[in-house]
Amino acid sequence: EMMGKAFVSYAINTLKITRWAILVVNDDYGRGSVEAIDKLIKKHGGAEIVAVEYHEKGATDYYSLLTKIKGKNPNGLALIANTAEDAMKTNQWVELGMNKTMRLMDPTSALFNPKFVELTGKNCEGMTGAARYAWSLNTPENKKFVERFSKVYGDKPDKFSQSCYDCVKMVAHAIERSDSFSPKKIRDALAKIDYTGPQGRAAFNKENQLVIDEYILEIRKGEFVILGKVPKEKLFE
């Protein structure tokens, strides 16, 4: 829902996606995502979901589902599954010529990773979505992190690398702040932390939900271009 809040408004207001289609994996993640996006679109107004097609995990043939979607004339297609499945969808979407009439969207931050670009090549050009992190963030903290990560692993970090790094650093800060190894004291210190790392500024709200910024990204020539930032305050309205 937080990622949906970050992206739905941008997609409708800026990208002018008024007719949405969603091609989604048939599990709790997929159905929960569709429910959240549908709720946000109805709340925002000015757009509608014209097609939702579900597939089972591990599916490889999406031609019939894409053809059904094409018949509904959407101007935006949201993909919700894992990298391998969504890469196959993207390649088949281009084969069917659907990229000429609609924009590809990633509303749940699953696809802004090097593997997706490798599997889709030019077919993912212009895909837009929301994500909490991209290696291209132009901040001193992130530049340092990317440089060190690349030196060790020979590759650029993704959101999982960043989140693990920030998680360890935040716990370390909480240990230092509490001056204790007591789990309770560390937990209490963590709840009050105000931390800045590669992703940006992070803190916890009164429900102990991590509050961070989200970014609007677009794939251009295989790179993740940051189009804007959605302030964390907007995600909790």
Model pTM score = 0.86
Segment 69-121, tens digit of pLDDT: 999 999 999 999 999 999 999 999 999 999 999 999 999 888 988 899 999 99
**173 phi and psi angles, rounded to 5 deg:** -60, -40
| Collapsed DSSP state (helix, strand, coil) of residue 176 | helix
Q: Which two tokens stand for residue 125?
A: 């050009």
Segment 199-233, tens digit of pLDDT: 988 888 888 888 888 899 999 999 999 998 876 55
What lies within 8 Å, CB to CB, of 74 at 6+ separation is 19, 20, 21, 50, 51, 102
